[in-house]
Amino acid sequence: MTMGAAMLWGVAHLAVERRRSGLALMVAYVLMLAGVLTVVTAYSANLLSLAVQPRWLTVLTVALVAIALAWTGVIVWSFVLVRPPRSDRIGRFLTTTLTVALCALILAPTAYATRIAYLSRDVVNTLFPSSADSTPIMAHDPWNGAERVQFLLLGGDSAPGRPGVRTDSMTVASVDTATGATTLFGLPRNLQRVPLPHGPARSRFPFGFTGAGTDTPGLLNEIFQYAEDHPDVVPGVPKGRRGPALLKETIGGILGVPVQYHVLVDMKGFAELVDAMGGVRVTIKDPIVYGRNREGLLPPGTRRLSGEEALWYGRSRTDSDDYVRMGRQKCLLNAVVKQAEPMTVINSFERLATAAKRTISTDLPRDVLPAVVELSQKVKSAKVRSLSFVPPLIDTANPDWGLIRDTVSDSLRDRPSTKTVPTREQPATTPKPDNPINLDAACG
C-alpha cells in the first residue's frame, strides 16, 4: 500500500477510509503532473534558454526541492497509516525498509538535479557579466536590430618566459539572426602591419601595428596582450577587458563588419575540458610530432585523444605550419562540439563546470544568453561555410585589406567576389565560402 501511495498519492488514505485527505492528495498529484507536463510540452523549445538564466535556475531548484519533500512526506504519512502492528516485527521491518528505499528513490535524483542546477547557476554567474557591465539590449530584440551578429572565437596560449596571452587562434562566426546561416572567417596569427582602430591605438601605430620592440614582431596575435599591457591605447577600459576590446575593433576593421562579442578559450585549460568529457575522437591524417624535444608522436588513424594529446594536436607546428595547425584547430573544435552529447555533459557536468570557469572568458552578457541558445539551435540546422584568409589568397606579410573586406562583404551577400588577386597567387584550390572546407576531411 505504501508503494501504491508513492505511485498515486492518496491510495493509502482511501484504504483506511480517510476519503477527504485521500481525494485531496489525488487532486494535488494530478495537478502536479499536469503542471510538469504543461511545462515540458508547452515550453520544451525554451527549456535550454531557461537553463542559462540564474533566476529560472533558482525557481527550478526550489520547485524540485518542494516536490521532493512533498512526495517523501506523502510516502511517510502513508506508511504511518498502513504500517503493520508492533507485534509483526518482520512485516514492520520490511515495510520500513521499503519506505526508506522509496524516499531515497525520490530524494537522490532530486539532490543530483539540484546540484546540477546550482552548478549551472554558478557557471552562468561566473563566466558571463551582468547586463550592467555590458552594452544595453533593446527590449524584445537582443541583437539590437542587427541582421547578422558576429562572435570572435579566440584560442589563447602562453609559453615559458613569455608573459601574457597570445591569441594564436582567431575565427569570427558571422551568424544570420533570422536563419542561423553562418560563415566562419579564419584569420592567421601572423598577419603583419594590421591597421588599428581610430583613436589612441591608431595614433601610436599610424601605419599598422608593429609591436613593442625586438621581442615582438608585430603580429595580429600580439594585439590582445599589448592592449592589456598599455592602458593608454584603450582608455577607460578596465584590465582584463582591454585586450578583447581592442582586438574586436581591430578584427572588425579588418573584415569590415562589427564584432559584438568574444569568447576566449585558454588552450592549456582546454585540456581539462577534453579530459572532463572523457577525451575526444579525431582522425589523424599524417603523424604529428609534439613536445619541446619532439618526444611525443600522434600516429595516423582514428583515435581518442586525452586532454594533453588534444592540446598538442591543436598547437603543434613541428613538420607543418600555421595554416595546417589552423585546420586542425577547427577540426578539433568541431569534434568536441559533436561529441559533447547531453549524457556526456550530464555525467561529467561538475568537472566540465569547474574546467569551464578556469578556461573560458567572454563578454556575452547574461541577458543575451537565452537568445544565443535559441540562435545556436538555428545554426545546427543551417548551412555553415568557412573562409580562411591565408596564403595564397592573402600575403600575410603585406595583406590586401581591401580584398579581405570585399571578400567578406561578397560572401555575406552570397555572391562571388568582384576582386581577385594576381593569377600567380590564386590557384583554383583557394577556399571560398560557397566551397566550404570540410573540417573532418582537412584533418584526415
If you count them, how many residues does the chain have?
Answer: 444
Query: How many angstroms separate the Cα of 198 from the Cα of each of 243, 249, 346?
Result: 16, 9, 46
Peptide bond before residue 231 is cis, with ω within 30 degrees of 0: no
Q: Is domain 148-442 classified as CATH 3.40.47.10?
A: no
- CA 324, distance to chain mean position in Å, is 24
- Note down pLDDT in tens along the chain; length 444 residues: 677 777 888 888 888 888 888 899 889 989 988 888 887 776 665 666 677 777 888 888 888 899 999 999 988 988 888 888 878 888 888 888 988 999 999 999 889 888 888 888 888 888 888 865 555 554 567 787 889 999 999 988 765 455 678 888 899 999 999 999 999 999 998 999 999 999 999 999 999 999 887 767 899 999 999 999 999 999 999 998 999 999 999 999 999 999 999 999 887 778 888 888 888 888 888 888 877 666 778 888 888 988 888 888 887 877 667 777 777 877 787 777 777 766 666 777 788 888 888 888 999 998 888 888 888 888 878 888 888 898 888 999 999 999 999 999 999 987 544 454 443 333 333 344 444 434 344 455
Residue 421 to residue 423: CA distance in whole angstroms: 6
Whether 127 and 360 have beta carbons less than 8 Å apart is answered as yes
Query: CB neighbours (10 Å) of residue 111?
Result: 14
Query: Could you tell me the CA-to-CA distances from 305 to 80, 168, 278, 299, 323 in Å, in that order?
Result: 55, 21, 9, 11, 21
Domains of the chain: which residue ranges? 2-127, 148-442
Residue written as cell 573532418?
440
Q: What is the pTM of this model?
A: 0.78
Which residues does 49 contact at the CB level (< 8 Å), separation at least 6?
369, 370, 371, 373, 374
Task: Dig out the grid coordinates for 165 from the structure.
Answer: 596571452
Helix spans in 196-294 (H): 200-204, 223-229, 242-255, 267-276
Contact by Cβ (8 Å): 4, 95: no
| Strand, coil or helix: 41 | helix
Q: How many CA atoms lie within 13 A of 432 on its CB side?
A: 15
Dihedral angle at the C-alpha atoms of 379, 385, 390, 392, nearest 10 degrees?
180
What angle is formed at CA 193 by the lines to CA 188 and CA 194, rounded to 5 degrees?
60
Contact 31, 11 (CB under 8 A): no
